[in-house]
Amino acid sequence: MRQKRKKPRSRYHHGNLRAALIDVARRLIVERGPHGFSLVEAATLAGVSPAAPYRHFANRDALLACVALSGYERFAKELTVAWRDGQPDPYTAFMRMGEVYFSFAQYERASYIAMFEAGLAGDEIEGLKEAGDQAFATLTTAAKALGGTMPDGQPISPELMGAHIWAMSHGMASLFSTPRKGMDSPGAGDPKFLFASGMAIYLKGLGISP
């Protein structure tokens, strides 16, 4: 009598499928970039059938959005902790936020790439825009506190100042978060020092000093 063939066991626990796919996606994002893999590839590496991911994610962008969303939430929390209500003074607290920005870009590469390089439409993904706005709001809070130390007559809003700070922080973090040819030369300098000196020059132009 022919025995029935047993179906091969899946290598994941049903309750952990979502987490397993996110872990695989984070690895693939760093290795190949946000658009260098498919949902089917992520399923294969997670040890499940090609159809299994669709129980949790409509497409690859939905998976990327999940990585980005959790990244924004952690990013906002870390910036808030670094700001520490502007203690011991707004200038010092702000510079501390800059260090957190660099650390996040370096050690949370998958999240950082998904957040800023995946080209996700925040308005089309539930919660993504709000999470990004929360992170930016922390910088705006810092800008308002720093703005309170500016001389009278400076025509710049906290929102614009926050945008300037975000742009400079993001540019330097993106430039130095991964090794690039020539960036290890003595002339390039330490990225945290470049950020601190660049911000010092920018803030001095607004009349803000330590």
As averages over each run of 10 residues, the pLDDT of the chain (210 residues) reads: 48 69 94 92 89 88 91 91 92 88 87 88 72 85 81 74 84 72 54 82 82
How many independent structural domains does the chain possess? 2
Residue 76 lies in a domain: yes
Give the DSSP per-residue string, 16-31: GHHHHHHHHHHHHHHH
* CA–CA gap between residue 210 and residue 208 (Å, rounded): 7
**Residues 52 and 156 grouped into a single domain:** no
Give the residue numbers spanning the domain of 113: 65-205
pLDDT at residue 112 in the model:
92
**Residues 110 and 195 grouped into a single domain:** yes
pLDDT at residue 146 in the model:
84
Question: Is the Cβ–Cβ distance between 57 and 39 less than 8 Å?
Answer: yes
Q: Where are the alpha helices (DSSP H) in 35-187?
A: 39-46, 60-83, 90-107, 109-116, 128-147, 158-176
Instruction: Give Dmax over CA atoms of the chain in angstroms.
Output: 93
**Residues 76 and 27 grouped into a single domain:** no
Question: What sign has the CA pseudo-torsion 30, 31, 34, 37?
Answer: negative
Residue 142 lies in a domain: yes
pLDDT at residue 140 in the model:
87
pLDDT at residue 27 in the model:
95
Residue whose tokens read 């997670």: 46
pTM above 0.85, yes or no: no
Residue 111 lies in a domain: yes
